[in-house]
Amino acid sequence: MSQAIIQSVPTNIITGFLGSGKTTAINHLLKHKPDDERWAVLVNEFGQVGIDGSLIEQQDGIEVKELAGGCLCCALGPSLPITLATLLRRFRPDRLLIEPTGLGHPARIIDTLQSEQFRSVLTLHSIICLLDPGVLLQPETLRHPSFIDQLNLADIIVLNRTDLADEANITEARELSANLFPPKTAIHATTHGQLAREWLDLDHQIQRQARYPQAHAATPARPNILAPINPPTVAEPSKPVRQNGSQGGYYSYGWIFAAEDRFDWQAIQPTLDTMEGILRLKAVLRIGHAWVSYNRNAGQQADINESAWRRDSRLEILTRQPLAYEIIEKTLIACLMG
């Protein structure tokens, strides 16, 4: 018997700039998923090795698909329709959540979801943008076209990480959000990405326009100029796979370690805590018999949690300038338990 045609799957884009807490917010939503529903999550990551997929908590009735190695608004744009079609056909979800990279412009994704190919298959509901009030202290971020249009195209703006921001920045972030036009459907404040599930069912307002539409124009992917030629695909003990790349003035450096590798926490934690020149550092690591996730933004304290990931250890660094990755790799290997 043939399966029923997939129609009008409720779809939400959870967007926000680097370090705004998108993955934490999605994990919160997944914990409150109705037991009788199947949810799919499509995660796009700028880096090459893919960390965010390993940070999403796996549960019954949830399918996670990760697209790493660039932004869906440019380098990975052609892959989006194929990946969406495959995910929908194989998993047949009751809801789809899409998490673009923090550097991504959401307009390309919106265009794809509303294209003739997906118009009857998906129904775009509210686009939620997480805003960390702390970015108001980062002039470079405030000028970034993707940051500006993530706010412009959102239906709901959620001020996240408010427990780490001072009251003046929270007030300024709220005023910035309230002064956008057309007005937002809602503006909320929260901590730890605690989004209410009912926010997902609000409508997307199609009149919202990008200020920098050219920022998501399809362009050929830039080569990963730092990537080694024909890198190995499977890590061996104490011999990690390195996959590095660059695009749009940002550089990513990623390593995958074999599942057998175990890190000495007393060595690896201070190494990660004191690493300089980073915008973002994310990792999931085997520590003795346990596994932990590590997440740190520039100038902030790391967020460390237990992880259910068991496939391998992996680490990724995002920067605005090239790093001496050979030295970093030797340092990481030196942190392994003998």
Checking if the pLDDT of 2 tops 70, the result is: no
Q: Which pLDDT score is estimated for 293?
A: 92
Instruction: Give the pLDDT band (50/70/90) at residue 71.
Output: low
Same domain, 288 and 208: no
Q: Which pLDDT score is estimated for 232?
A: 47
Number of structural domains in the chain: 2
Same domain, 273 and 138: no
Same domain, 114 and 185: yes
- Cβ atoms within 10 Å, residue 6: 14
What confidence tens digit (pLDDT) does each residue in 249-283 have?
Answer: 888 899 999 999 999 999 999 999 999 889 899 99
Cβ(314)–Cβ(51) under 8 Å? Answer: yes
At 5, phi and psi to the nearest 5? -65, 135
CATH of the domain at 257: 3.30.1220.10
**Residue 236 within a domain:** no
Same domain, 111 and 45: yes
Provide the β-strand partners of residue 41: 64, 97
Evaluate the omega torsion of the peptide bond into residue 182 and state whether it is cis, within 30 degrees of 0.
yes
Checking if the pLDDT of 128 tops 90, the result is: yes
Q: What percentage of the chain exceeds 90 in pLDDT?
A: 60
Same domain, 300 and 158: no
What's the CA gap between 280 and 320, in Å, rounded?
A: 10
Which of 30-34, 90-94, 117-121, 241-245 is predicted least confidently? Answer: 241-245
Same domain, 80 and 136: yes
Q: Which pLDDT score is estimated for 218?
A: 44
pTM: 0.84
CATH of the domain at 46: 3.40.50.300
Instruction: Give the pLDDT band (50/70/90) at residue 25.
Output: very high
Same domain, 99 and 248: no
Q: Which pLDDT score is estimated for 223?
A: 37
Domain span including residue 287: 241-334
**Residue 1 within a domain:** no
Which of 28-37, 205-214, 289-298 is predicted least confidently? Answer: 205-214
Report the phi/psi class of residue 193: left, alpha or beta, with left for phi > 0 and alpha for psi in -120 to 50.
Answer: left
Same domain, 197 and 298: no
